[in-house]
Amino acid sequence: MTFLPKMAFKNLARYKKRTMITAGAIAYGLMMFIVIRSLLTGIDNESETNLRLYETATGRIMAPGYWDDRETFPLEKSFYPDVVIPVLEASGAGYSPRISFGGDLIFYKDPFPEDGSIPGRFTAIDPERDSDVFKLRDSLTEGSWLVDGEQGLLLGHWLAEDIGAGIGHTVLVETQTIDGYVQVFDLEVVGIINCPNPEITRSGMYLPLSIADEYLEMDGAVTEVNVNFGTVNGADEDFAALVPEVEALGLEALDWRILGADFIAISQAKAGGTGMIIFLILIIAGVGISNTMLMAVYERVRELGMMRALGMRDRQIRALFLWESAGIGLLGGFYGVGLGALVTWPLVKWGIDYTFLLRDASFGYRIQGQMYGVWNFPNMIFAFAMGVGMAVLVAAFSTHRILRLDIPASLRFQ
Amino acid sequence: MISVKDLFKTYVAGDTEVKALRGVSLEIERGEFISIAGPSGSGKTTMLNIIGCIDSADSGDITINGESVMDLKRDAQAAFRRDYLGFVFQSYNLIPVLTAFENVAFSLNLMGVDDAETKERSMAILKEVGLEGMENRRPGKLSGGQQQRVAIARAIVKNPEILLADEPTANLDSNTGKEILELMKELNEKHQSTFIFATHDPMVMDFAGRLVQLHDGEIQSDERR
């Protein structure tokens, strides 16, 4: 039955313009699908990495109930890190104790451009140990790193710009001690951080752990110990293995997926939203294809009537149109994947700078600066198969409609 | 060989009923060259379509070589048309993307005849209908008469028992029409296929060995010459 594919090919060549338009509609849909999926995957991958490198590490150990009340910064739900450190050292994990507390950052005109205060979250870190877990130190773009015992402050780059802070400027921190007494102390801006995680760049405020311990009267207690097993495969399993041991000590251990639940939820919601956009693009392409395929079929009703009169069976007619539509689908698939790869290439190599969008609003993703695509070959193969499948499906539907006409009606069709 | 018994067919168009055939009965012998003639709406095309298994009757029966074709399933009807019937249409109905040779070969392709035999038979029949040297022309590059010759070649190449032609000369000038009829008569004598025409062209009626006149779905006369 090679005459059917041959005839299908000739029909495709007969209607060159329509073939190209239909294949073009498929190609456009597939290109958008490939590019959007490439960017989304790139954003997700990079966000996950930046979340773990700058915010959550592999996981975090806290006192029971702290995580549920974290919005109120409950210092009383703290613990002594010495309890858990032997377990962490035995596991080979990097670890870093921290105190998170809420307060106001107060600054005055001269050297600041104007008086003001900003409420926010302060994070007290161990300047020596923190680099075992987080990459903050690598993101220092101005000034110097914190020194234990010195009243220094690191600010996120955008935050510093917003309030006009520079190295050497002094600010006041107004907060409460662990017992609820108001406490005010001053810090000197010693460094500016500009890291790939926009949450840090937008609102990060870091001071030495020993200074927070003193002013908050923590007496050596911390609100969290962050644990790092790296971002390689197996890190999550290593952390999961640690959880029972930590819980046996009366503490709570949560992994990065729970700590970054906002990102995970937003990522999933956005994937759903983007899925809808992709679906709409494919619908538009599908309507284009079905329109041209219907035209192709209806233009040849008489021809098909004649073929049926000569003894061509329904399944042969279907096969003929399926060959034609598969040909269009293959053409559209090749074009679509080719165009998709062509557009993805600069996205992978140079990315898109959308800092301007992220600076003033958080979208949940933990990326800033360049948004990069990734090569997603299974997705390209899927897109290709989808293009062919969509064309074949639409043709099957159109052919079915034509075959419902009786032969004399087909032969009379104008 | 073909036995048509008490054939009724009514078309419904909206609220209007058109009785296309009203109890038509007819016996046609193998190798006949028969014209079913009549004015527009007399039922001649309907009758041709029912004999050709591309339309169904409301009641009655048609047997071909003793076998009823009325109750054949859709696929079996297609196979019957493919193996036993040839069609020639008023407007030729050639496949525009195929050459004259490919159009003729199409019939044999459907039957699953191998490539070598298809080529041999198609070229021979094209020569027979006077289109030698034009095998590679597409329909658009052929005159109306030449296109109808290709259509006849396509119908006859498979040696059908019955060749059905609906107004085969209607789109042709009288000279070309005559040539086509002479060709068909020649093929009828040579291949011993039964030729059945539906026509209102007097020239076709003159050529026929038997003329069946239909009027308002009934046989008005049946004249053998």
Residue ranges of domains in chain A: 3-51+264-412, 59-228
Interchain CB contact of B97 with A (< 8 Å): yes
What is the C-alpha separation between A134 and A227, in angstroms, rounded? Answer: 9
Residue A290 confidence (pLDDT) above 80: no
- The reported pLDDT for the residue numbered B181 is 87
pLDDT band at A189 (very low <50, low <70, confident <90, very high): very high
Distance of alpha carbon A138 from alpha carbon B19, whole angstroms? 92
- In whole angstroms, give the CA distance from residue A199 to residue A29: 34
Instruction: Let me know: does A227 contact A256? Beta carbons within 8 Å.
Output: no
Summarised one tens digit per residue, pLDDT across range A121-153 is 999 999 999 999 999 999 999 999 999 999 999
Give which of A10, A303, A410, A411 to mutate to test B binding, by max B Cβ within 10 Å: A411
- DSSP code for A372: P
CA A183 vs. chain centroid, Å, equals 39
Token pair for residue B39?
A: 């004015």
What would the pLDDT profile of A343-357 be if each residue is shown by its tens digit?
999 999 988 876 666
What number of helices (H) and strands (E) belong to chain B? 7, 10
Cross-chain residue pair B54–A311, CB shorter than 8 Å: no
The percent of chain A in helix, strand and coil, each rounded to the nearest 5, is 55, 20, 25
> Mind telling me how many Å the CA of A356 is from chain B's nearest CA?
57
Asked if residues B155 and B180 have their Cβ atoms less than 8 Å apart, the reply is no
In order of A113, A156, A355, A395, the CA distances from A165 in angstroms are 9, 10, 20, 65
B89 contacts in chain A (CB < 8 Å): 306, 411
Query: Is B216 near chain A, with CB under 8 Å?
Result: no
B3 beta partners = B27, B63
Secondary structure element (H or E) that encloses residue B111, with its range:
helix B100-111
Q: Which domains does chain B have, with CATH numbers?
A: 2-224 (3.40.50.300)
User: What confidence score (pLDDT) does residue A212 get?
Assistant: 96
Please check whether residue A101 is in contact with residue A209, taking contact to mean a CB–CB distance below 8 angstroms.
no
User: Which chain B residue has the Cα nearest residue A317?
Assistant: B110
Using one digit for the tens of pLDDT, what is the confidence trace for A226-237? 999 876 778 888
Reference A225, options A124, A81, A75; nearest CA is A81
Contact between residue B121 and residue B107 where contact means Cβ atoms under 8 Å apart: no
Residue written as tokens 């070959």? A377
Residue A195 is predicted with a pLDDT of: 86
- What's the gap between Cα A297 and its chain centre? 43
> Which contiguous run of DSSP H or E holds residue B174?
helix B174-191
Mean pLDDT, rounded, for A304-328: 90
Query: What pLDDT, on a 0 to 100 scale, did the predictor assign at position B43?
Result: 92
Q: What pLDDT score was predicted for residue A362?
A: 60
Interface residue B122 vs chain A (CB under 8 A): no
Q: At what angle do helices A16-51 and A3-14 cross, to 10 degrees?
A: 90
When comparing pLDDT for B124 and A283, which is higher? B124
Residue A371 has pLDDT above 90, yes or no: no
pLDDT of residue B66: 87
Structure-block tokens of residue A289: 């294809």
* Region of poorest pLDDT, from A170-184, A244-258, A379-393: A379-393
Backbone angles phi, psi at A98, to 5 degrees: -145, 160
For position B104, what pLDDT does the model report?
A: 96
* More reliable by pLDDT, A11 or B99: B99
Residues 25-54, chain B: which have Cβ within 8 Å of A?
A: 45, 49, 52, 54
For chain B, 225 residues long, give each residue's pLDDT as a single digit of tens. Answer: 899 999 999 988 788 888 999 999 999 999 999 999 999 889 999 999 999 999 999 999 999 988 899 888 989 999 999 999 999 988 889 998 899 999 999 999 999 999 999 999 999 999 988 899 999 999 999 999 999 999 999 998 998 999 999 988 888 888 888 888 888 898 898 888 899 999 988 888 988 999 999 999 999 999 988
Read off the tokens for A357. Answer: 């969008």
Do residue A406 and residue B97 have CB atoms under 8 angstroms apart?
no
Q: Residue A32: pLDDT band by 50, 70, 90 thresholds?
A: confident
Distance between CA A210 and CA A172 in Å, rounded?
17
Q: What angle do helix axes A301-309 and A261-299 make, rounded to 10 degrees?
A: 70
Is A3's CB within 8 Å of B106's CB? yes
pLDDT-derived band at A1 (thresholds 50, 70, 90) equals low
> Which of A85-94, A278-287, B86-95, B200-209 comes out lowest in average pLDDT?
A278-287
Residues of A in contact with B98 (CB under 8 A): 7, 10
Instruction: Tell me the chain B residues in contact with residue A306 when contact means C-beta distances shorter than 8 Å.
Output: 87, 89, 93, 95
Give the whole-angstrom CA distance, residue B190 versus residue A258: 89
Least reliable range by pLDDT among A149-158, A210-219, A283-292, B140-149? A283-292
Q: What confidence score (pLDDT) does residue A321 get?
A: 86
Q: Which pair of tokens denotes residue B95?
A: 């496949």
Sign of CA dihedral A195, A196, A199, A201: positive
A311, pLDDT greater than 90: yes
Between chains, do B95 and A7 touch, taking CB under 8 Å as contact? yes
- What average pLDDT does the structure give for chain A? 87
- Compute the distance between CA of residue B49 and CA of residue B33 in angstroms, rounded to an integer: 17
- Return the beta strands (E) in chain B as ranges: 2-13, 16-28, 33-37, 59-64, 67-68, 85-88, 162-166, 194-199, 210-215, 218-224
Residues in chain B: 225
CA distance, residue B101 to nearest chain A CA (Å): 13
The percent of residues in chain A predicted with pLDDT above 90, rounded, is 47
Band (pLDDT 50/70/90 cuts) for residue A360 is low
Tell me the nearest-neighbour CA distance from A377 into chain B, angstroms: 38
Average pLDDT over residues A170-199: 93
pLDDT at position A92 is 87
Which chain B residue lies closest to A302 (C-alpha atoms)?
B93
Residue A273's alpha-carbon distances to A44, A119, A280, in angstroms, are 14, 33, 11
Q: Which amino acid is at B9?
A: K
φ, ψ of residue B213 in degrees (nearest 5) = -100, 125
- CB atoms near residue A396 (< 10 Å): 14
Minimal Cα distance from B89: which residue of A?
Answer: A306
SS (H, E, C) A61-74: EECCCCCCCHHHCC
